[in-house]
Amino acid sequence: MNRKYSPEMRERASRMLAESRPDHPTMMRAIRHAAGLLGMSPETLRLWGGTAGNWFTILSAAYSAVVSIIMIHSISKM
């Protein structure tokens, strides 16, 4: 197994990917963006995201749900 990147770098890359995901229309565009900023191959980040990708999807869905609930609550108070 290649240990070119430290666990801290993997964590940083995963966090950066999660933070940049909402700004991009697809996961692959977010991966390319974050990988470019970190100077690594998008394929490396994509493979790491394979395990974390499910969490990104879940968190994105949860975030969207919370925003929708807040908007509905704000509208109902008007």
1 within domain boundaries = no
2 within domain boundaries = no
CA distances from 48 to 2, 4, 25, 70, 77 (A): 13, 13, 20, 33, 43
24 within domain boundaries = yes
Evaluate whether 60 touches 23 at the Cβ level (below 8 Å): no
Look up the domain containing 48 and give its range: 7-76
Statement: residue 53 has pLDDT above 60: no
Q: At 63, which CATH number?
A: 1.10.10.10
Total domains, the chain: 1
Statement: residue 7 has pLDDT above 60: yes
Span 35-58, average pLDDT = 77
- Given this model, what pLDDT does residue 64 score? 73
Stated length of the chain:
78
How many angstroms separate the CA atoms of 37 and 34, rounded? 5
Span 27-40, average pLDDT = 91
33 within domain boundaries = yes
